A and B are shown apart, each in its own frame.
Chain A
């Protein structure tokens, strides 16, 4: 039984990373209707920035993280101004491909700038652990779960209560009407991308602490798509539930049946869930007019 709990907890930590990435997808999708394939690479760049600032340049961890978070928020504004503003009115399909292009651009530049070696981000509590009963929690796992919980609650309140959050929901439901009501849709897009960048950096730093940071880690982030879809692409809570479910399922599956099949878990779950509920577990069905 303690093996089960041990697995479940470390699965929960992995699931929290998925949830953070998925939350990034959901924020952009909710406010602009675009599936952001660059999320994984934004995550990678954020994590490498923090790593370079804190480990190579000798900044304190907190300062490096704060600087990267501000940088990744501003990055959202740059992307909106240079690329997305010109894509307004184009088919959704083209916008998705633009995000893939952005991802490649980020990955190529990052490859030239940071090299191809693996990295592990060291944070102040690295190596500590907490033992509850028979289950041992490493400081990394605790930090991951805590960061996800805080981020999730913050975003939940943000969407429900803040002016920007409400404006974002309005933009998502109907861009034209939102614009007529005096909402600056361009600014909303920029903020959504900025927040996605912030979430990406958080997810990347957490992955870096767990020791999974390399230039192609964006591909692993693709597995957060199933997490987002499991929950429903337009549900904030769904992203977290989907991420946690996926992480636990993967780790349990890997723990009991051998490691190599766990990569497949996410995609099989995705296909099965979409066949039964085409809009995800918590997603709302689109009502279409002809």
Chain B
């Protein structure tokens, strides 16, 4: 049992991974992540890749919703802006993949800043509706633009990084793991700094925050810009991974799925975003494989079944486990730390 948790130097307090215990489990995690592609079959690795792409977008959205308290129902639109920009930069200008993906993220970020302008005046539900309206406008524009392939979408040529074509699921896996790790550590670090505290202050009481000298304009725009950049990055990765995009990939449903991932994982935490993305991406596949061939009725109506199940899970998690996986994990940890007592004494 870990009794006292004294930090005797500032360096130690600021360290991301303090103590031998944390470092040991971090080592286990890294070994595990490296070993995964050898252990799981190709098809499941592909789904894992999709979950990692979703994780990038969800980390971004969580920054906005969980840390800043601004609700966006339009993140699928930012993702589509990133994806389309990446494809266009590749096919029309012949940009290398890394440049194209960065360009996509920058483009999404620019749109994010534009959308953040109404966010300065609007709050809560009204902001949710405006972002939803924005998503519909983007979807409409894409479906009517010849350059963007209308309803049919665009094909993305095989991307390559440093002369290495990303032609296998395994290579993609390692690229995506690195991206997720960089994004996760970056966002986690940002949240431990003054920026993170300013965002939390805006989330909890925005007027009080502004009186205490936190610039609402600056931080709300920053939060939107970062969040939409990450969504755009996820879009660019998605285009490369799947090799093909069309407007149906980025519907309102996707935005809501991202929010569901955040809630199931845990609001305002990076770990929660990743867990939520993994869980909700794998769940339908697991259920599909369990039910396959068992019941003709469910095979036929699988999409409906999936929709209903997603709805049920969202409702159940919010009713019984409002803090998500991360909350459950925290409770479990504190149970063992406090044993034989019920709670850690304050």
Known contacts A275-B121, A290-B208; is A102 also within 8 Å of B137 by CB?
no
- Compute how far the CA of A271 lies from the CA of B121 in the bound complex, rounded to whole angstroms: 12
Q: Which residue of A100, A225, A260, A290 has the most chain B CB atoms within 10 A of its CB atom?
A: A100
Q: How far is the CB of B312 from chain A (nearest CB, A)?
A: 5
B260–A97 touching, CB < 8 Å: yes
Q: Which of A96-152 contact B (CB under 8 A)?
A: 96-98, 100-112
Main secondary structure of the interface of A (DSSP, over half): helix
- Compute how far the CA of A226 lies from the CA of B122 in the bound complex, rounded to whole angstroms: 15
Q: Which residue of B133, B207, B309 has the most chain A CB atoms within 10 A of its CB atom?
A: B133
Q: Which residue of B144, B314, B315 has the most chain A CB atoms within 10 A of its CB atom?
A: B315
- B121's nearest neighbour on chain A, judged by CB, is A278
B304–A111 touching, CB < 8 Å: yes
A271–B133 touching, CB < 8 Å: yes
On chain A, the residues within 8 Å of B297 by CB distance are 112
Q: How does the 8 Å CB contact mask read for B150-179 relative to A, with 1 for contact and 0 for none?
A: 000000000000000000000000000000
Known contacts A105-B311, A270-B129, A290-B207; is A97 also within 8 Å of B263 by CB?
yes
A225–B129 touching, CB < 8 Å: yes
Q: How does the 8 Å CB contact mask read for B121-137 relative to A, with 1 for contact and 0 for none?
A: 11011101110111011
A222–B121 touching, CB < 8 Å: no
Q: How far is the CB of A152 from chain B (nearest CB, A)?
A: 23
- Compute how far the CA of A92 lies from the CA of B124 in the bound complex, rounded to whole angstroms: 9
Number of B residues whose C-beta is below 8 Å from A? 46
On chain B, the residues within 8 Å of A275 by CB distance are 118, 121
- Compute how far the CA of A77 lies from the CA of B223 in the bound complex, rounded to whole angstroms: 40
On chain B, the residues within 8 Å of A53 by CB distance are none
A229–B126 touching, CB < 8 Å: yes
B71–A109 touching, CB < 8 Å: no
Known contacts A108-B304, A109-B308; is A229 also within 8 Å of B129 by CB?
yes
A107–B308 touching, CB < 8 Å: yes
Of the residues B129, B259, B308, contact of A104 by C-beta under 8 Å? B308
B126–A105 touching, CB < 8 Å: no
Q: How far is the CB of A22 from chain B (nearest CB, A)?
A: 12
Of the residues A90, A112, A233, A290, contact of B308 by C-beta under 8 Å? A112
Q: Which of B279-335 contact A (CB under 8 A)?
A: 297, 301, 303-315, 318-320, 322
On chain B, the residues within 8 Å of A166 by CB distance are none
A101–B124 touching, CB < 8 Å: no
Q: Does B205 contact A (CB under 8 A)?
A: yes
Q: Which of B56-76 contact A (CB under 8 A)?
A: 65, 71
Q: Does A67 contact B (CB under 8 A)?
A: no
- Compute how far the CA of A290 lies from the CA of B297 in the bound complex, rounded to whole angstroms: 55
B318–A226 touching, CB < 8 Å: no
- A94's nearest neighbour on chain B, judged by CB, is B318
B310–A104 touching, CB < 8 Å: yes
Q: Does A264 contact B (CB under 8 A)?
A: yes
B137–A267 touching, CB < 8 Å: yes
On chain B, the residues within 8 Å of A290 by CB distance are 205, 207-208, 211
Q: Does A69 contact B (CB under 8 A)?
A: no
A274–B211 touching, CB < 8 Å: no
Known contacts A108-B308, A260-B144, A290-B207; is A90 also within 8 Å of B322 by CB?
yes
Known contacts A108-B307, A226-B129; is A271 also within 8 Å of B118 by CB?
yes
Known contacts A35-B125, A271-B133; is A97 also within 8 Å of B318 by CB?
yes
On chain A, the residues within 8 Å of B310 by CB distance are 101, 104, 108
Q: Which of A234-273 contact B (CB under 8 A)?
A: 260, 263-264, 266-268, 270-271
- Compute how far the CA of A270 lies from the CA of B260 in the bound complex, rounded to whole angstroms: 25
B125–A233 touching, CB < 8 Å: yes
Q: Does B47 contact A (CB under 8 A)?
A: no
A264–B140 touching, CB < 8 Å: yes
Of the residues B211, B304, B308, B315, contact of A83 by C-beta under 8 Å? B315
On chain B, the residues within 8 Å of A86 by CB distance are 319-320
Of the residues B126, B252, B259, contact of A274 by C-beta under 8 Å? B126
- Compute how far the CA of A288 lies from the CA of B208 in the bound complex, rounded to whole angstroms: 11
Q: How far is the CB of B130 from chain A (nearest CB, A)?
A: 6
On chain B, the residues within 8 Å of A267 by CB distance are 132-134, 136-137
On chain A, the residues within 8 Å of B130 by CB distance are 270-271, 274
- B115's nearest neighbour on chain A, judged by CB, is A271
On chain A, the residues within 8 Å of B133 by CB distance are 226, 266-268, 270-271
- Compute how far the CA of A96 lies from the CA of B318 in the bound complex, rounded to whole angstroms: 11
- Compute how far the CA of A288 lies from the CA of B137 in the bound complex, rounded to whole angstroms: 32
Known contacts A94-B322, A290-B211; is A106 also within 8 Å of B311 by CB?
yes
- Compute how far the CA of A100 lies from the CA of B261 in the bound complex, rounded to whole angstroms: 13
Q: Which of A47-71 contact B (CB under 8 A)?
A: none
Q: Does A78 contact B (CB under 8 A)?
A: no
On chain B, the residues within 8 Å of A177 by CB distance are none
- A86's nearest neighbour on chain B, judged by CB, is B319
A101–B322 touching, CB < 8 Å: no
Q: How does the 8 Å CB contact mask read for B200-213 relative to A, with 1 for contact and 0 for none?
A: 00000101100100
Q: Does B221 contact A (CB under 8 A)?
A: no
- Compute how far the CA of A105 lies from the CA of B124 in the bound complex, rounded to whole angstroms: 24
Q: Which of A268-286 contact B (CB under 8 A)?
A: 268, 270-271, 274-275, 278-279
A-B contact pairs, 9 of them (CB 8 A): A92-B124, A102-B315, A107-B307, A108-B305, A110-B304, A267-B133, A271-B130, A290-B207, A290-B211
10 closest A-B pairs (Cβ-Cβ)? A108-B308, A104-B311, A101-B314, A111-B304, A105-B311, A108-B307, A267-B133, A101-B315, A101-B311, A290-B207
